[in-house]
Every structure is written in structure tokens, then in C-alpha cells.
Amino acid sequence: MAGLATPHPSARRIHRILRGLAPAAIVALGATSCATGTDAVAQGGSFDFVSPGGQTEIFYDPPETRGSIGTLAGPNLMKEGEHVSLDDYAGQVVVINLWGQWCAPCRAEADDLETSYEATRDLGVQFLGINVRDPQRDKAQDFVVDNQVTYPSIYDPPMRTLAALGGNYPTSVIPSTLVLDRQHRVAGVFLKALLADDLTPVIERVAAE
């Protein structure tokens, strides 16, 4: 059945348990009065998230069983007046990270995400952040500068873009990370803060497919 989460043998071998990091921050969903980021857009795709047994690392294999996320686009956090879209990265592996500057685990993983990005970008890999629940844009921008994050983020305080991530995706878990293959199908999902040693081997495996 397409979309079912089946841990890949190689994925199991690279699995490591994170130590010393706080659990993912849980944010309450609901109505928001934030008026910024309203031009962020999303449309559903064929991906339907399934997390058997409450796992925090889920891999979707073989590749032909993977679902694709929907249209994903929104304002560029660091370049006001510009937009960024998943469609900008056709043919590339894309790592999508949901984050907020208010989120302690997001701060903990920022260096590791940047390390993984630098280690894999020459393989045809792009990272794309989605900044959520940050009504003060300047604070989110300060996070990017302070943590020397070089990849772009969509600025989406009301979390409108997350509708593209598929039915049942747990958008209340921040941070979380999706690894998309070159056809932008979901190859893996992490529902926790990450170390570079956890993420980089997964990206390299998907990039080599």
C-alpha cells in the first residue's frame, strides 16, 4: 500500500538514538490572529503520513511506494518581496525542516542541519526551512543570522504551507524534518531534533538512488 512506513534495512543500520537533546516542542494548533505570511500557499499531494508505533524516524521504501507532497511555496524569510518554492528545486533531493526561533530543540539542531547541508549540497541536495509561529519576522531573521543558516526558509507564521505535507502529518511537532527524493516523494520523516550523524547518511542514501 503506497505511503505505508516500512523501515529500510540500511536505514535501520544508520539509526542512532539522540542523547542530550530536549524532545521536540509541541505547539498547540488552532486559530491564529497573525496576519503575516498569508501569501504562503499549499496544495495537497499523494503523501499520507503513517507512523506505526509512535516512531520518531520513519522511512518509506521501496521508492515506488512513496507519496509526493503538494505544492509548497511562500515568502522568503530573509528576502522580503521574494518567494521560495519547492518547485525551484526540480530534480534535487530536498530536506524540509519545520522550525521556530522560540523552539529550544530547533536551536540545538541548527548547527547539525547546516553541517549536513554543507556536506551534501554537491550531491544535488537542497535544504528548505519552514519558519512557523513566529509573528515577529525580525526575531526569526536573527535566528538565521545567529546560527549562520545559509539555506532559505519560507516565512509562514500561521502554518498555512503545512497543508502540503499530507494527510495526518503531525504539524504540532516542532522541529520535524522530511527528506524528499529527486521526484519530491517522501523518503523519510524525523519527528525530533537531529544530529548531523543521523541525517547525513539518510540524505546520502536517497541522493544515490
Residue 19 lies in a domain: no
Q: According to the model, what pLDDT value does residue 1 have?
A: 40
**Residue 143 within any structural domain of the chain:** yes
* In a domain? residue 54: no
pLDDT at 154 over 60: yes
Q: The domain spanning residue 153 has which CATH number?
A: 3.40.30.10
**Alpha carbons within 13 A on the beta-carbon side of 68:** 14
Which domain range does residue 124 map to?
24-49+67-207
Q: Is 13 inside any structural domain?
A: no
- Which range, of 2-11, 41-50, 61-70, averages the lowest pLDDT? 2-11
Please indicate, yes or no, if residue 61 is contained in any of the structural domains: no
Q: What element of type H or E holds 33?
A: none
Q: What's residue 44's pLDDT?
A: 65
Q: What is the mean pLDDT of the chain?
A: 84
Q: Give pLDDT, residue 123.
A: 98
C-alpha cell at 77: 524569510
- Helix/strand/coil for 147: coil
Q: Is residue 130 part of a domain?
A: yes
5 part of a folded domain:
no
The per-residue pLDDT for 42 is 54
DSSP 56: S
Region 143-158: mean pLDDT is 97
- Structural domains of the chain, count: 1
What confidence category does residue 110 fall into, taking pLDDT thresholds of 50, 70 and 90? very high
- Contact between 144 and 78 under an 8 Å Cβ cutoff? The reply is yes
Report which of residues 169 and 142 the model is more confident about. Answer: 142
Q: How confident is the model at residue 14 (pLDDT cuts 50, 70, 90)?
A: very low
pLDDT on residue 199: 98
Please state the rounded mean pLDDT for residues 135-156: 97
Q: Is residue 71, in this structure, part of any structural domain at all?
A: yes
